[in-house]
A and B are shown apart, each in its own frame.
Chain A
Amino acid sequence: MKKILFASLFILLGFQGIAQKEDNAYYLPDLDITDSRILERSGFKNQKIDSASIAENTASDLGELLSLQSPIFIKRQGVGGLATPSFRGTGASHTQLFWNGINLNNPMLGQVDLSLFPVFLNNKINVNFGASSLLYGTGGLGGAIRLESQPSWEKGLSVTARQYAGSFSTFATSLGIRTGNEKWNSTTKVYFKTADNDFEFTNTSQKESPEQDEYPRQKNKHAEQKQQGFLQEISRKLGRSDQITGRFWHQKNDRNLPPSMNKPSSKAVQKDDASRGILEWQHNDAFKNIIVRGAWVEETISYNNPDTNTDTKSLSTSWHLNGIFNFQLHESLYLNSGFTARKDNAKTDNYQDLESEKKVSRVQDKQDIYMNLEWQPSPRWSLSALARQQWIDGKAKPFLPSLGASVEVLNKKTFNWQTQANFSRNFHAPSLNDRYFYPVGNPNLKPEKGWNGELANRWKLKHKLFTAEYELTAFYSDIDNWIIWRPGVLRLWKPENLRRVISKGLEHTLSVQWNIGEWKMHTRINYSYISSENQKSYDGQDDIVNEQLIYVPRHNFNGFFRLRYRSWHATVEEQGYGKRNIRTKEYQNDEYLAAYWLTNINIGRSFNWGTHRVDAQLRINNFFGYHYQSVARRPMPERCFGFTIVYSFINS
């Protein structure tokens, strides 16, 4: 892979295209063909979610998929509820989400709700660990998630129609149509999902009356949700090496927010609407790759709760301009460079002028430039050096240098050992809410700033029948001025730069694929141990030092085992997490969320009739009916079922 990296960009794109096709050959056809065009940096860790796993989870949301496939821990406010990532022990706003290069973290919240991203709409998902995200932007103290798609220039028409029906009246319908030729390409995707989420659970918090002996069985009330999405991508080739692409994505999410176990009723409703458009020009030749793109993102979050007389609407509009300039300077020297400019405008009832108490909009300007050199001094060594500088509202933010190195310690025919290390500075700027939320917002907040390093070893074993890969990564990150909201005067929570958090850990990944005749097996196991602890006492009396951050498990496990035989396939997915603290300081007899373990089973078969194909799949989630809570006193479903039928047609 490394050699190819430096051969030429052109060749690389070709190679990845082939790899992708192979992957698809024995599974569901994908509408997007080619892979990400930007090379990842040497010495940094990233993960591509495999397309078979994506195909098995198309009715899920991005949060569900990532919790099965990546080491990112997802905290979930009940089924269909807010799902936020904790990547390598960091907070929700420390994971950056990019859609074709455009940052989608809500400028007001600083974070994304991964439950609002249907897997079906984005079938190229990359995970950048830690400072590997610096090639794309700042703020990914934990890392970044990148959703990408690229046009295919194959002639023909392909259609995929999916219908999912599952427990708790969950129905998801989706349709994808790709058409085009060597000159142009159009991809259209439509997605519609409704769910009642009215599962039964045992309310282990409250009995309904003193006479009741057992904890009552109750229904998860007021949890209905509806999601609709539409995605259109059109690309046109101009000459041999230029292309323009337009993308538009509109999504509406409507959900009722169920009460916690300690509340008898809820009438709260949340609506999340988003419209996103990207227009992009790209030039590719053997020596350079230039992309210029403009984007517009508009998000509305409406929250209504008649019980508390609350009705708020938060509207944010962001304009983006990105330029990426990549050059093959020399056979062994490659340069990435670029800029991003972004303007955010946010309007909400929660932003008011402190004096007049009038509603005001808050504006934020961000500019960013970066440069990265990839150098391969010898066939075994490759080095990467990046520098990034950001300005927010005209003020220079910390300068971010980042270095990485990778060496092939051994490269035999059947055995390959690679070692890599990196060291970077990074920061995360406070969100608009941190700065302006009335009346507690703190315009003087400093960015959360620190450095992180990583050391990784990867061993690959190739055999006639199988390939095995084991990767062991140690990471360390030290972030100061960490922002927390703490209760202040009149019980109003206020954001302050109070903590210094060191998170460190070990990530193991084992992946084995083997083929025996017509039997094909693939297994992947992730285990990570994460310690994420505050180091700073902010007022002399505060003693929350060396305590694991709340809702961050130390033990994180997931994995799958997939078996294919002719047109059949079966997959077992596992995920397990250790204990999670829900107290900033733990005392004897304190409550905590227990470790949990979930098992999902997928069985499917495909039927082929020439260009027509039908795939049927049965899915059982939480097969053993494990009782668990992701957020305290938010019930989660026991065993549940789903059935998917997919029709696809490919004419090329």
Chain B
Amino acid sequence: MLSFKKYIAPALLALLSCNEPEDALVKNFETVSGSFSSGVYILNEGNFDWGTGSVSFFNPKKTYRENDGFLHSESKVFEQINKSEIGNVVQSMTVFNGKGYIVVNNSESVKVVQPETMKWLGTIKMPEGSPRHLLPIHSGKAYLTELYKNCIYVIDLKKNEISKKIPVSGWTDKLLLFENHAYITKRRSTFDKRKGGGMMLKIDTRTDEVVDSVSLPKGPCSLQIDQMRKLWVLCDGGFKDTPALVRINPYTMKTEKKMLFENQAGLAPSDLEINASKDTLYFLNGGVSRHPIHADKLSGNFIPRKRMFYGLDIHPKTGELYVADALDFMQRGVAYRFSKKGKPLDSMRVGVIPCQFVFMEQ
């Protein structure tokens, strides 16, 4: 047990020679290609506070199978290219106008990168803030939602800084741009003492003013717009209420349809996505469910659940489904690729708490 070579010699060495600061937390890297113009980025949140988020990259055409049966994906891409961690918790990435905007919630910042290389270009800081998701409005402006500070940041994309704050109350989360308006969901966590929580705001992007709102069931966690110009909002129920899928007319801000998820023991739906032709909605509900926009009833999962599905995105060209499994949140997660019909294609080991996929042009 106590062999000299294995333990005593390194211990003595450690005692006599000072180590470097970066030796305290050992990180191992494998080399990364450095060119990410074709493939899929996988964003990984990382553990809150003591962890770091990470970015993995997967190119279906250039991968190989590892010993454990998983396909190979490049891991910790941002950290390797830039010799700095990205921070925690990685919330989302938006590619716009030749740049990638990665929102890092607890690190109070948005990291701006060059999408093809993951080269870090700069940082938009929101001191003491807790940023969530970014929506580009035009080449000079973006909206950024915020968890605690009762505002929506307006970002100057030319200067990479906050140009103003739109005051709102509560947690603003997902955003969607339709014609000249931004639609923004408002939620409330179980531990948040602020009032409200089930709402959607409509902001005029020309004046940055809240012009309308609609009350929703608790926990509106994501929204999409379909080919009929109808907004769909998925509400997770906020722990106690029944989750619902709601259809809203974006012009009148009236609720047109509300479908309840009955018998949802211990489940909350999340991650509403829509396919490229904008006629079928997909979401996570333990497994993966789909809902044609004209259907009257919610249907069950067509992809069965695994451990903890935590992210869903649809490839805009192939229609393939990418599903992230965060497992127990305390180890590297898994990403699955399914065909449009739900046939499992392959899987790869990604980073800790995978949450989103970003598709780079092929």
Chain-A contact segment, one of B121-129, B136-144, B255-263, B295-303? B121-129
Contact of A597 among B14, B26, B109 (CB under 8 A): B14
**B148 close to A308 (CB less than 8 A):** yes
Residues in chain B near residue A576, CB distance under 8 A:
11, 14
**A307 close to B331 (CB less than 8 A):** no
Asked if A632 meets B25 with Cβ closer than 8 Å, knowing A262-B85, A489-B268, the reply is yes
Chain-A contact segment, one of B93-101, B174-182, B187-195, B197-205? B187-195
Q: Does A41 contact B (CB under 8 A)?
A: no
Q: Does A263 contact B (CB under 8 A)?
A: yes
Q: Does B165 contact A (CB under 8 A)?
A: no
Q: Does A394 contact B (CB under 8 A)?
A: no
Contact of A626 among B2, B18, B28, B193 (CB under 8 A): B18
Residues in chain A near residue B307, CB distance under 8 A:
539, 541-542
**What mask results when residues 295 to 327 of chain A are scored 1 for a CB within 8 Å of chain B, else 0?**
000000000000111100000000000000000
Residues in chain A near residue B75, CB distance under 8 A:
589
Q: Does B130 contact A (CB under 8 A)?
A: yes
Q: Does A488 contact B (CB under 8 A)?
A: yes
Q: Does A544 contact B (CB under 8 A)?
A: yes
The A contact surface, by secondary structure, is loop
**A626 close to B120 (CB less than 8 A):** no
**A210 close to B190 (CB less than 8 A):** no
Residues in chain B near residue A589, CB distance under 8 A:
27-30, 75-76
**A591 close to B25 (CB less than 8 A):** yes
Residues in chain B near residue A590, CB distance under 8 A:
28, 331-332
A267 to B127: give the CA distance in the assembly, Å.
12
**A262 close to B128 (CB less than 8 A):** no
Residues in chain A near residue B219, CB distance under 8 A:
490
Contact of A265 among B50, B82, B127, B191 (CB under 8 A): B127
A627 to B24: give the CA distance in the assembly, Å.
6
A470 to B219: give the CA distance in the assembly, Å.
62
Residues in chain A near residue B27, CB distance under 8 A:
589, 591
| Chain B, 28-75, CB within 8 A of any chain A CB | 28-30, 49-52, 75
**A206 close to B84 (CB less than 8 A):** yes
**B328 close to A487 (CB less than 8 A):** yes
Q: Does A215 contact B (CB under 8 A)?
A: yes
**B21 close to A201 (CB less than 8 A):** yes
Q: Does A98 contact B (CB under 8 A)?
A: no
Q: Does B87 contact A (CB under 8 A)?
A: yes
Residues in chain B near residue A267, CB distance under 8 A:
128
Residues in chain A near residue B76, CB distance under 8 A:
589
**A265 close to B108 (CB less than 8 A):** yes
Asked if A627 meets B23 with Cβ closer than 8 Å, knowing A309-B192, A490-B190, the reply is yes
Residues in chain B near residue A189, CB distance under 8 A:
none
Q: Does A378 contact B (CB under 8 A)?
A: no
**B24 close to A206 (CB less than 8 A):** no
Considering only CB atoms and an 8 Å cut-off, how many residues of chain B contact the other chain? 71
Q: Does A486 contact B (CB under 8 A)?
A: yes
Q: Does B239 contact A (CB under 8 A)?
A: yes
Chain-B contact segment, one of A122-130, A274-282, A361-369, A579-587? A579-587
Q: Does A420 contact B (CB under 8 A)?
A: no
**B87 close to A490 (CB less than 8 A):** no
**A265 close to B128 (CB less than 8 A):** yes
Asked if A264 meets B14 with Cβ closer than 8 Å, knowing A490-B268, A492-B239, the reply is no
Q: Does A529 contact B (CB under 8 A)?
A: yes
**A263 close to B121 (CB less than 8 A):** no
Asked if A544 meets B331 with Cβ closer than 8 Å, knowing A210-B82, A597-B14, the reply is yes
Residue of B nearest to A576 (CB): B11
| Chain A, 527-558, CB within 8 A of any chain B CB | 527, 529, 539, 541-542, 544, 550, 555, 557
**B26 close to A206 (CB less than 8 A):** no
A89 to B187: give the CA distance in the assembly, Å.
41
**B107 close to A262 (CB less than 8 A):** yes
Asked if A542 meets B328 with Cβ closer than 8 Å, knowing A204-B22, A262-B106, A625-B18, the reply is yes
**B24 close to A628 (CB less than 8 A):** yes
- How many whole Å from B302's CB to the nearest CB in chain A? 20
Q: Does B329 contact A (CB under 8 A)?
A: yes
- How many whole Å from A223's CB to the nearest CB in chain B? 15
Instruction: Please indicate which of the listed interface residues B7, B15, B25 has the most CB atoms of chain A within 10 Å of its own CB.
Output: B25
**B268 close to A487 (CB less than 8 A):** no
**B306 close to A541 (CB less than 8 A):** yes
| Chain B, 73-122, CB within 8 A of any chain A CB | 75-76, 82-85, 87-88, 106-109, 119-122
- How many whole Å from B291's CB to the nearest CB in chain A? 20
| Chain B, 229-257, CB within 8 A of any chain A CB | 236, 238-240
Residue of B nearest to A547 (CB): B331
**A487 close to B326 (CB less than 8 A):** yes
Instruction: Please indicate which of the listed interface residues B10, B109, B128 has the most CB atoms of chain A within 10 Å of its own CB.
Output: B128
Residue of B nearest to A625 (CB): B18
Asked if A260 meets B49 with Cβ closer than 8 Å, knowing A309-B148, A529-B1, the reply is yes
Residue of B nearest to A623 (CB): B15
A210 to B1: give the CA distance in the assembly, Å.
45
**B148 close to A307 (CB less than 8 A):** yes
**B332 close to A632 (CB less than 8 A):** no
**B194 close to A309 (CB less than 8 A):** yes
- How many whole Å from A422's CB to the nearest CB in chain B? 23
**A486 close to B328 (CB less than 8 A):** yes
**A490 close to B236 (CB less than 8 A):** yes
**What mask results when residues 202 to 216 of chain A are scored 1 for a CB within 8 Å of chain B, else 0?**
101111011010010
A590 to B331: give the CA distance in the assembly, Å.
9
Residues in chain A near residue B318, CB distance under 8 A:
none
**A594 close to B328 (CB less than 8 A):** no
Q: Does A291 contact B (CB under 8 A)?
A: no
- How many whole Å from A215's CB to the nearest CB in chain B? 7
**A264 close to B108 (CB less than 8 A):** yes
A231 to B266: give the CA distance in the assembly, Å.
49
Query: A: which residues have CB within 8 A of B?
Result: 201-202, 204-207, 209-210, 212, 215, 260, 262-265, 267, 307-310, 438-439, 486-490, 492, 506, 527, 529, 539, 541-542, 544, 550, 555, 557, 576, 579, 582-597, 599, 624-629, 631-634, 636
Given contacts A490-B190, A586-B331, 17 further A-B contacts (CB under 8 A): A205-B25, A206-B87, A207-B83, A209-B123, A262-B88, A263-B108, A264-B107, A265-B108, A267-B128, A309-B193, A492-B190, A542-B328, A544-B331, A592-B25, A594-B24, A624-B18, A627-B20
Query: B: which residues have CB within 8 A of A?
Result: 1-2, 7, 10-11, 14-15, 18-30, 49-52, 75-76, 82-85, 87-88, 106-109, 119-123, 125, 127-128, 130, 147-148, 190-194, 219, 236, 238-240, 266-268, 306-308, 326, 328-332, 349, 352
Q: What are 17 of the A-B contact pairs (CB < 8 Å)?
A: A204-B21, A209-B123, A210-B84, A210-B122, A262-B87, A263-B108, A264-B125, A490-B190, A550-B330, A583-B330, A583-B332, A583-B352, A594-B24, A595-B10, A627-B23, A633-B25, A633-B49
10 closest Cβ pairs, A-B complex = A202-B21, A207-B84, A210-B120, A584-B330, A589-B28, A585-B331, A204-B22, A629-B24, A591-B27, A632-B50
